[in-house]
Amino acid sequence: MKTVKEKQDYRIEKINAISIKKGTPLFDSIRWLTEAVYTDDTRYFMKGVHVEKEGLKTILISTDGRRLHKLEIEDLDIDAGEYQIDTNNNQVVILSTAKEKYEYPNWRKVVPNNKKHFKVSLAAKGKGGNDADFSINVAQIIKTTGACLNQCFLNPLRGNDWKVSFETANGAFVFTNGIMQAVIMPVKEVEALEVTEDAIYKIIPFEKITAAA
């Protein structure tokens, strides 16, 4: 006898907009997604969230041109299209249909089919997390791959275990954890970012951070 798979209730409210509140199943994931949106008005088509349908899956994309965040969720009641972010704080995220008409960039072109793989755990922020451990995690990635990744782009990945794929030190890195996927381009300069005890970023030499590993 076949069993019918129950649909997940994501508790999304749709009243001329999409409201995802704190405490609902997708809140943290949507907040993570919005970390990668472009913040400058010069590229308004990257300031929102792109949504596509692929069978039963809903794909949500955000990018600032240097990194891309992707969510792939089954049975999500959101229509395909472009969405602007009306509200984004630690209590609620509200998305509405974008007022501007535009064609979203072909994001699939920047998601490579890498053949080299490894796993990494990135130390969480705040309570239970340790910035020194996180810097060591970043140093291990550099040592393993020879690539320098902007630590600001790795910050939203903290507190999770990631499957990482890459091809070369200069190519795109893909971080995957469940429904979340991040594509990050390495920085060109041979420098890395370190978080100090007071959480202020500073540039430090490549050699110094690799030596820490």
- The tens digit of pLDDT for each residue in 126-144 reads 655 678 888 888 888 988 8
Lowest mean pLDDT among 10-24, 147-161, 166-180: 10-24
How many degrees, rounded to 5, is the angle at CA 65 between CA 165 and CA 25?
70
Question: Given the DSSP bridges, would you call strands 49-54 and 81-88 parallel, antiparallel or unpaired?
Answer: antiparallel
Fold category of 13-109 in CATH: DNA Polymerase III; Chain A, domain 2 (3.10.150)
Q: Supply the pTM of this predicted model.
A: 0.79
Q: Is residue 165 predicted with pLDDT exceeding 90?
A: yes
How crowded is residue 118: how many other Cβ atoms within 10 Å of its Cβ? 13
How many degrees, rounded to 5, is the angle at CA 117 between CA 111 and CA 120?
100
Residue 206's pLDDT is what? Answer: 34
CA distance 64 to 39: 8
**pLDDT grade, residue 3 (50/70/90)?**
low
List every span in the chain annotated with CATH 3.10.150.10: 13-109
Amino acid identity, residue 143? Answer: K
